[in-house]
Amino acid sequence: MIMTAWSNNLALSKVYTKGIGYIFLIAFLSYYVQFPALSSMGGIEPSNDLFRRAFPSLYYPVGKGYIDSDGLVELINLVGVVASIVIASDIAQHALLYLLITAIYYFLVILGGQFYTFQWDILLIEAGFLTALCFAPWQSRHLTTNDFNVGCWPLRFLLFKLMFMSGIVKIQAECPTWQNLTALEYHFATQCLPGPLAWYAHQLPPFILRLGVASTFVIEIPATILLIVPWLRIRR
């Protein structure tokens, strides 16, 4: 039974580590597509000046005329794409690879300016760093049972922070829609990227929608403490 438990943990851990690679891959490809219109020299918010101030060492080849800033950003982005593919395809999952893609995405987020100040961009950087520091193997290319030292606890605290702060910020905003539990009566019609079921959700009775808001508060504030309770029986 002990060996079975270890095997299950190892299998789930590999799903997680590969999943992080896939998420970073999507992020890098998305950045590559959006960069020319948003942050290139001809974009809405050119990143050239920010690049020179924030990363003077990396900007050196640009200043010397060896490569233009847009080309250098695209090259660094493509390095992130390749490293993410290596992780996602399970060719190698060494911790240094996770540090590499995290550092590259941090660099891209800084250059992205106002377009990359969202919660999920910071969350991806935090998750990548914690995966490298506490979860991914440092002495081998792939996860083994010997790599479970700190494990998922730092990631649990990261998820706890995300959920708890998401709940608290709704209260601190002092927004009437959250205070009156009516936020979902507007959410589905005003969200940035409505899904195919958004129209149907918007038609639900107000009581159901307000019950959904109340459930959100319960899940995000008191219930989220269960993520970091040290006793497995209580977490289950």
Mean of the per-residue pLDDT values of the chain:
86
What is the per-residue pLDDT across 62-109, written as a single tens digit (0 to 9) for each?
777 777 888 888 999 999 999 999 999 989 888 999 999 999 999 999
In terms of Cα–Cα distance, which of 182, 190, 188, 186 is closest to 208?
A: 182
Ranked by mean pLDDT, the top range of 20-24, 38-42, 151-155 is 20-24
CB 31 within 8 A of CB 108: yes
- Rounded to an integer, the average pLDDT of 171-189 is 92
The confidence score (pLDDT) of residue 52 equals 78
The CA-based angle 200-201-206, given to 5 degrees, is 120
Which residues are CB-contacts of 63 (< 8 A; sequence separation ≥ 6)? 52
Residue 50, pLDDT > 80, answer no
Residue 115, pLDDT > 60, answer yes
**pLDDT higher for 11 or 154?**
154
- Rounded to an integer, the average pLDDT of 50-73 is 79
Tell me the pTM: 0.82
Q: What's the CA gap between 69 and 61, in Å, rounded?
A: 9
